[in-house]
Structure 1
Amino acid sequence: MMRPLYVDIHVIQTVPPANLNRDDQGNPKEATYGGVRRSRVSSQAWKRATRLHLDDQIPAPERSVRTKRITGELTDRITEATGLDRDQGARLAAALLGQLGLSQGKKAGDTAYLLFYGDAQLDAVAGLVTDRAADLSALDDKALTDTIATLPVAATFTTGHPLGVALFGRMVADIPALNVDAAVQVAHALSTHETQLEFDYFTAVDDRNEKEETGAGMIGTVGFNSATLYRYATLGIHQLLANLGGDSEAALAATGHFVDAFARSVPTGYGNTFAHRTRPGLVAVVLRADQPVNLVSAFEDPVPAEAGIQAVSARRLATEQITAGEMWGDAPLHIAASHLFTAGDARTQETAEALGRAFGAPVTFPDLLTTLRDRVATALKDPA
């Protein structure tokens, strides 16, 4: 494997009243950090939002899916390609997947856990039997099992990984051969300041209410909060390259897709209730050849609850980038930021100047992606 190479992504994003990611009580998730309660969005929630956003931007054959219903998905492909009836197709699908030894779930046809794979990979598995599906379906169970055992089913799932699997990895506890080490790590998003849980008391009126009836047809509450979030993720280019079979062009494309999807995505919890989708006020990238560095310590002392929380948060991040870099003698291969703060506006001048010292002159987000691609390409060509 090549030398370690990481892209750190730092995001400051303000979200209005929302419930992006609820806990077991239905309220927004929280965490204690720096001695106060913070709004929190789990890494799992934002990874899923990122993955779904990413899939919307790439061609269908390159997409991935995570499901327990892989047997049904494979059955669909076999029957569509061969004209076999559903029962015959399901028998071939079960024989193919049976070679993997997947634990079965409580519901017939389901696996015991979600399996993450590429659509193209499952197409390839179906292709192992489509040319002789009629002959295979005529075999008895033992003969079918013996014949299917000679086909490279497992090998098909361990090569040609789609973007999602290459980025986020895959773990199959009872089949280690199917495991893929993730190239991406995502931190739990935390508010840069203390937050308070609030409740929206709502009523719904029955449009067909009789005139003599009063009151609501439904009454309820939903928890929410509003926050300026610090979000962080890191992408190991070296691991991504390994997962993509050494294809540097695919790795460069994947890097751009991931940074774009991570920056633009937002979890959809209670989306219709709060219409909470915003874009970040700041996106910064740092290309490093040593180790990933999460800058959340910039907010261990919570930002005061006053006007301009987003601007103060951005300044805090800039200061942490500078001081931590000086302390440790960091020498990033590339550093850049795209943000909304301008030196020409008195309200944001101080923030813009701090960000300039930490990340250089601001660039548009498309330019940030283009320049990052060029710098990663240069680093991949340098074996040192």
Structure 2
Amino acid sequence: MSEMNRIYVDFHVIQTVPPSCVNRDDTGSPKTALYGGVRRARVSSQSWKRAMRKVFNEDFRQENFGIRTKRIVSLVETEIRTLQPTIAEEEALSLAERIIKLCGISTKKENDEEKTKALFFISKTQVHNLAAYIFAHKDDADKDIKKEAKKLLNQDHSIDIALFGRMVADEPTFNADASAQVAHSISTHRVDNEYDYFTAIDDLAPDDNAGADMIGVVEFNSSTMYRYATVAVHTLAKELNDEKELTAAAVKEFAKAFIQSMPTGKQNTFANRTLPDAVLVTIRRDQPVNFVGAFESPVRTTDGGYVAHSIQKLEEYANKIYTNYVDTPEHSWSIGMGDEQNNVNLKELLQSVHDVLLEDFADMASSGQE
């Protein structure tokens, strides 16, 4: 693919996360990572992508998004009964099980329900297409249904499948390449975990009871984090059947979700609802570039804060990368950064990204580069 056909949108965020336990490991401790020889706070990409998908579901039409579940047989059965209200429940279930198995997806009985062995990411359009097809061809031979069924399950991906990909161990032909990559977020500086010791008292305890009825400890930390994500827009457009408006809208919603979302670990305990302190969004044609190297040497501060120093290091590192390795981005927008010329608010940033992508699509179409 030529460079002119490639479009990458990079997202860089500096964000303060107050005392919290946003993302925990198997022991309940906040996740951390060693980077630059020191311990950093960390939030996994999986955790932040989950938070982003929840924002998607609030702001986008539901039919554009998929479902991650073991109960795809039940989904197809329900759709068959919606399309054909007079069909018997047993027949609908039998047809649903049949087409899922013909697709090559392994299932097993759990509590009298047929489920896939692993979570399966499926779009609502794919559920509808499978249900409609199997009902219309229920009298056909299995060999005649199998090929078309697999085709239906491998097209009309939802936006979140196109963005985050799909992996099916049983049937790799259903794998979908992710158009987006989300890095693990790490603090720009060293962190040390702390402990919140708490007690609780029984409201009905007798007056002479001076002791606590519950004692516990919650581990937490606080940090200023660097967050990074990128979207290969040309790949996303291909996964979305080259629907240009939908692709631009999907990138706009990805940007909003990445910037505004927050994982919900221990949220009721810590109310860690912060927004970014600084955002840099760029559109490139050569390759995506993660600027985490700006913080390999941890930020140290003498004035009690990390945000301003983190923003400064990010800007300096970006300029070094542009000078030595890659071209300056074709388009760039920032919130809360030092470049006053490109500083915008969030609403302006989102609309600008959307409009520039549509202009790029139009230019490629007129030049025959699609």
**TM-score under structure 2 length normalisation:** 0.91
Quote how far apart the aligned CAs of 1:375 are: 2.2
Quote how far apart the aligned CAs of 1:296 are: 0.5
Instruction: Pick from 102, 117, 141 the counterpart of residue 122 of structure 2.
Output: 117
Quote how far apart the aligned CAs of 1:96 are: 1.3
**Does the Cα contact within 8 Å between 1:96 and 1:148 map onto a contact in 2?**
no
CA distance in 2, matches of 1:294, 1:14: 19
CA distance in 2, matches of 1:106, 1:35: 49
Q: Which of 150-159 and 44-53 deviates more?
A: 150-159
Q: Which residue matches 2:339? A: 356
Quote how far apart the aligned CAs of 1:308 are: 2.6
Identity %: 40
CA distance in 2, matches of 1:76, 1:209: 50
Instruction: Pick from 223, 235, 244 the counterpart of residue 231 of structure 2.
Output: 235
CA distance in 2, matches of 1:148, 1:40: 50
Q: Does 1:93 align with 2:76?
A: no
What SS does the corresponding residue of 2:17 show, helix, strand or coil?
strand
Quote how far apart the aligned CAs of 1:211 are: 2.8
- The alpha-carbon distance between structure 1 residues 34 and 105, as it changes in their structure 2 partners (threshold 3 A), is farther
Quote how far apart the aligned CAs of 1:170 are: 0.9
Superposition pairs of residues 155-234 of structure 1, within 5 angstroms: 155-234=151-230
Q: Which of 23-32 and 217-226 deviates more?
A: 217-226
Aligned residues: 359
Instruction: Pick from 256, 259, 272 the counterpart of residue 255 of structure 2.
Output: 259
Give, as a single letter, the amino acid of the residue that structure 1 aligns with 2:305: G
What SS does the corresponding residue of 1:225 show, helix, strand or coil?
strand
Q: Which residue matches 1:307? A: 304
Quote how far apart the aligned CAs of 1:85 are: 4.3
Q: Describe the superposition over 1:38-95 as per-residue Cα deviations: whole angstroms up to 9, x where unpaired.
A: 0000111111111221121111111211111111222222234434444332212111
Q: Which residue matches 2:349? A: 368
Q: Does 1:289 align with 2:285?
A: yes
Q: Which residue matches 1:50? A: 52
- The alpha-carbon distance between structure 1 residues 69 and 329, as it changes in their structure 2 partners (threshold 3 A), is closer
What SS does the corresponding residue of 1:324 show, helix, strand or coil?
helix
CA distance in 1, matches of 2:256, 2:281: 11
For structure 1, list consecutive stretches of 5 or more residues without a partner in the other structure: 137-142, 340-351
CA distance in 2, matches of 1:145, 1:212: 78
Give, as a single letter, the amino acid of the residue that structure 2 aligns with 1:303: V
Instruction: Pick from 99, 102, 107 the counterpart of residue 105 of structure 2.
Output: 102
What SS does the corresponding residue of 1:207 show, helix, strand or coil?
coil
CA distance in 1, matches of 2:92, 2:339: 61
What SS does the corresponding residue of 1:199 show, helix, strand or coil?
strand
- The alpha-carbon distance between structure 1 residues 94 and 299, as it changes in their structure 2 partners (threshold 3 A), is same
Q: Which residue matches 1:78? A: 80
What SS does the corresponding residue of 1:161 show, helix, strand or coil?
coil
For structure 2, list consecutive stretches of 5 or more residues without a partner in the other structure: none
Instruction: Pick from 325, 332, 337 the counterpart of residue 329 of structure 2.
Output: 332
Q: Which residue matches 2:43? A: 41
Give, as a single letter, the amino acid of the residue that structure 2 aligns with 1:361: N
